[in-house]
Amino acid sequence: MAKDTNKKGTSAMEGYTRKTYIVNEDLSNKIDAISYWDRASIKDVVFDMQSNFVKAWEKKNGPLKPIPGKK
């Protein structure tokens, strides 16, 4: 069986997966500053951003449909 490298380091975090993204440098610096000033982890700040974006998108467009053929 192939090893799922997206789960590496997330074994204690049920329902999470590891992803890698390219981020605009200015935006990245602002995320770092928000994390610092809010005394929150970058992971938590990014999670909040992603959650709020998806909620706003679904409010505007309706519930997301699964991608065909993807688990």
pLDDT band at 1 (very low <50, low <70, confident <90, very high): very low
Parent domain of 56? 24-63
What pLDDT sits at residue 36? Answer: 98
What pLDDT sits at residue 14? Answer: 86
DSSP-derived secondary structure letter, 41: -
- Is residue 2 included in any domain, yes or no? no
Per the structure, the count of domains in the chain is 1
User: Residues 46-56: pLDDT tens digits?
Assistant: 999 999 999 99
Angle among Cα 47, 10, 44 to the nearest 5 degrees reads 20
Whether this prediction's pTM lies above 0.95 is answered by no
3-state DSSP assignment of residue 44: helix
pLDDT (average), residues 55-71: 94
